[in-house]
Structures are given as structure tokens and as C-alpha cells.
Structure 1
């Protein structure tokens, strides 16, 4: 998955703009670095990468998301969220552990919000009874966390569930 991550990262950097990077920094704050890549370019880079690697398994999708998230770069982390959002069908309840790590390490509130709204909440809602009960207990634990990001994610994930 390192090759796939490098392809995404290279595309993100090629589509970057210092003006957009400054706009992102002003909008989202100083947490991490910014390439200045548009959401459309992020989606296109993921689409191209997934075409090159069409049969990614659950483990490969989650590994790629972790590799993208590992660099404290807004656009790479947003790419990880969009990847997971696009492949919700392969996610399972135990992936909440990885997602909790993403939430804990996110320096940008917007990323945590999008992750909770577009990945965690739909994942919880898609699970069968037994796994959903497990997921809801994880989300309930988050709601009691000392971490404001986890508490916000719990509120979003539990909304309308």
C-alpha cells in the first residue's frame, strides 16, 4: 500500500497551490501542514489510485487510510477520510479502534467532524444488531472521554441512530 499512498501524495502535491494552502491555514488553523489541494483534486487522485488498484481488500483499504493519515498534512488526512467514506461497505466494527486513533490525532476539528459524520456514523448505522451494539458501546465510551474531539465525534455518530 506504500505505492498507492505515494501515488496519492504525489498527485496531491502536483495539484497544490500555495494560495489555497494559506486559505486552508486561515480557515482551519495551524494544526499540521497544508498542501493547498482542492477537494476535487483529492477525489480525483483517489479515484485514479483506486482504478490502478481495483481489488483492494479491507486490510488494504484500512492500511492505505492509515498511511495517508500518518503524515500530519490536511489533504492527506482528508484523502484518508474520503477513501474510507467511499469504501464503507468493507469497514467493520473493529475499525472503530483505528478511527478513534484518527480522532485523537486530528489537529483540525473539521477533519474530526467529517470523519465522524461521513464515516463513523454511517458505519455504526450499517452494522447488524450484535456489531451495532458493540459500536454503540464504543461511541458511548467516547462520549465520556476527556478528549473534546472524541466527545464531539460521539455526539455526531449517535445522532439519529
Structure 2
């Protein structure tokens, strides 16, 4: 593990609470370990790490996010998300491949939703020209993927823009119809609900404009 990765992991463990870990473990299930650190502690730890390891460049930041995500511990994976949020100015459409891998392993709104809303959405909103076109094509591909968490992410990605009145509601409606159609074709009702919940969140938080 890198020095920065060691620092983040050790700090998160020091910030842990067995009571919180026990409660969160019941909520998340057996596929993901939990240290028991608060969301505030995760954000503070990443902030401290960025101050401590100022030499981290784009490659170092993205590699660190992958290093943190690789171990199935909730706080480590949330730290990877927060790290990407902090590194947005360094990211471009080529980073969507890495983020896609994270989304496929997220399996929780607590991880998938901030990746979509606070990383994918702002990343794409900051692009222009061919880079923007290619990134929108990636979202369209996600909408057709069997993985419901990718479909959910594609729908949640424009939430910030839609909240501000700057998003494309017509595109969102088309994507919602496509994502729901893909979900409805599968026998797994849970997958359909994962997608429907994303549509409902966007309409609730952004006003559901026609």
C-alpha cells in the first residue's frame, strides 16, 4: 500500500466506533466490512491526506482512489469517492472507465449515488466538444447495461445541473424511459426498484419539469 493509502486507512481505523460499526454492518450486509468511522471523519481524513501529500498529481490521485476502493471496507471506498470529488479539476472523460468499475462494485446508494451526483455529473458538466460528446455516449451505454447501478448512475449524473435549471430535461426523460425499459425486461424486481428510485430522486429534488 502507498504511504498516502496507509495514512488514510490508519486514520479511519483510529476514528472508528464499534457501536457505529455494528449498526452499519447490519445495514450494509456481509459483503462489505465497516470500520465505524463517521462520514465527517472520512471527509476530514481525505482533506488531511491531501494537505500531507501535496505532491500527488492526477495519476497519483486516481491511483490512490483505486487503491482505497480495492479493499471492500465502506469507509475506504467512501474515501475513494471523496478523493475523486476533491480531484475533479484533474479528471476528464477517460476517467469514466475507472469510475464505471467502482459503480459496478458499489451495490449501495451510499457509494453509488455520490459517485454519480458529485463526481460523474460535475465531471461531464465541465467538459466541452468531443470530450463531452464521448462522455454522454458513455452514459447512454450505461443505460443499456444489465447492471442496475450503472443505469442508476446515468440517471443521477445530471442531478446537479437539473437542480440549477441548467440541465436537459428532455434528455433525462428519454434516458429514464430507456433505463426503466431495460429494468422491466429483467425478472429481478430489485433491479427495477434501484432504477426507479433514481428517477424519483431526480424528479423530487430538481422539480420534475416537463
Same fold (TM over 0.5): yes
Matched, 1:69 2:81: no
Deviation at 1:158, TM superposition (A): 4.0
CA contact (8 A) 1:32 1:107 kept: no
Higher Cα Rg, which structure: 2
| TM-score, length of structure 1 as denominator length | 0.94
Which structure has more RCO (C-alpha within 8 Å, separation ≥ 6)?
Answer: 1
The runs of at least 4 aligned residues of structure 1 exceeding 6 Å deviation read none
Does the 8 Å CA contact 1:16/1:37 hold for their aligned counterparts? yes
Q: Is contact 1:106–1:112 with CA below 8 Å preserved after alignment?
A: yes
**Equivalent residue runs for 1:73-84 within 5 Å:** 73-84=73-84
Matched, 1:36 2:26: no
2:20 — aligned with what? 20
Matches within 5 A, 1:140-151: 140-151=140-151
Aligned to 1:127: 127
8 Å CA contact 1:5, 1:67 repeated in 2: yes
TM-score normalised over the length of structure 2: 0.73
Contact 1:29/1:108 (8 A) holds in 2: no
Unaligned runs of 5+ in 1: none
- Counterpart of 1:118 in structure 2 is 118
Count of aligned positions: 161
Conserved 8 A contact 1:139-1:158 = no
CA distance in 2, matches of 1:121, 1:156: 8
Q: CA deviation at 1:50?
A: 1.0
- Consecutive unaligned residues of structure 2, counting only runs of 5 or more, are 168-210
Q: Decide whether the 8 Å contact of 2:107 with 2:149 is kept in 1.
A: no
Alignment RMSD (CA, Å): 1.4
